[in-house]
Amino acid sequence: MLVGKPAPEFRATAVVNGVIERDFSLTDYIGEKYVLFFFYPKDFTFVCPTELLGFQAALPEFAARDTVVVGCSTDSEYSHWAWCNTPREEGGIKGVSYPLVSDINKTIADMYDVLAGERYLDEQGNTRVEGELVALRGLFLIDKQGIVRHMLVNDMPLGRSIQEAIRMVDALQHYEAFGEVCPLDWHKGDTAMEATPEGVAAYLKS
């Protein structure tokens, strides 16, 4: 469970707006931006492009909230680059401009505890793998101090909601700005409440 803890740090290769960068890190955003960091299983698959293209379409909404979007999978940077340069009608995600991190060694997904599959040693001391070592659909909202404030992990067949991710950013920013907590199904502009018995009572009466 990473909520309330510093986001695990890493430096890795990423594809950013179609260009391979060799020294990418989320720590570069500390003090400057909120980060929505998400994992997906594989390039050139079926549910994944719907999510990656959805995040791309929503970039203006995240930018308006001072939030950057960063994706990550266990594919190589060359696979990321090829996928980013493949037309959408051919199964690609051409036009995706936000960073896509390469976790080819599986270490980042492991640090964020979203790595599916399991490594183990057999009776002879040989390393074996059960399942496939790829990332689940993990999503982490990291504040400007580098602290994880929200996490959500889906199994591979289950796509995420971009609007729910935006709602979480709004809720965090509302709490930071006003000190009010955000109840069930709260959306930006809705009434929130003070974290006191009196505040709860007033909210429930409204």
pLDDT digits (tens, 9 = 90+) for 17-50: 999 999 999 999 999 999 999 999 999 998 999 9
Confidence of residue 92 (pLDDT cuts 50, 70, 90): very high
Residues tagged active-site: 48
pLDDT at 97: 97
pLDDT at 203: 72
Q: At what angle do helices 162-178 and 47-57 cross, to 10 degrees?
A: 40
- 26 three-state secondary structure: helix
129: exposed, middle or buried (C-beta count within 10 Å: 0-12, 13-18, 19+)?
A: exposed
Task: Give span(s): CATH 3.40.30.10, the chain.
Answer: 12-158
Q: How many CB atoms lie within 10 A of CB 140?
A: 24
8 A C-beta contact, residue 55 and residue 48: no
The amino acid that residue 36 corresponds to is L
State the chain's mean pLDDT as an integer.
93
- 108 three-state secondary structure: helix
Mean pLDDT of the region 74-95: 95
E strands, 47-203, are 67-73, 100-102, 118-121, 127-130, 137-142, 148-154
Confidence of residue 73 (pLDDT cuts 50, 70, 90): very high
More confident position, 47 or 121 = 47
Lowest mean pLDDT among 9-13, 124-128, 158-162, 177-181: 124-128
pLDDT at 196: 82
- The dotted CATH code for 12-158 is 3.40.30.10
pLDDT at 197: 81
Which tokens in the block code for residue 84? 């980013």
Cα separations (Å) of 5 from 13, 73, 123, 175?
A: 24, 22, 37, 18
The pTM (predicted TM-score) of the whole model is: 0.91
pLDDT at 130: 77
The amino acid that residue 168 corresponds to is M
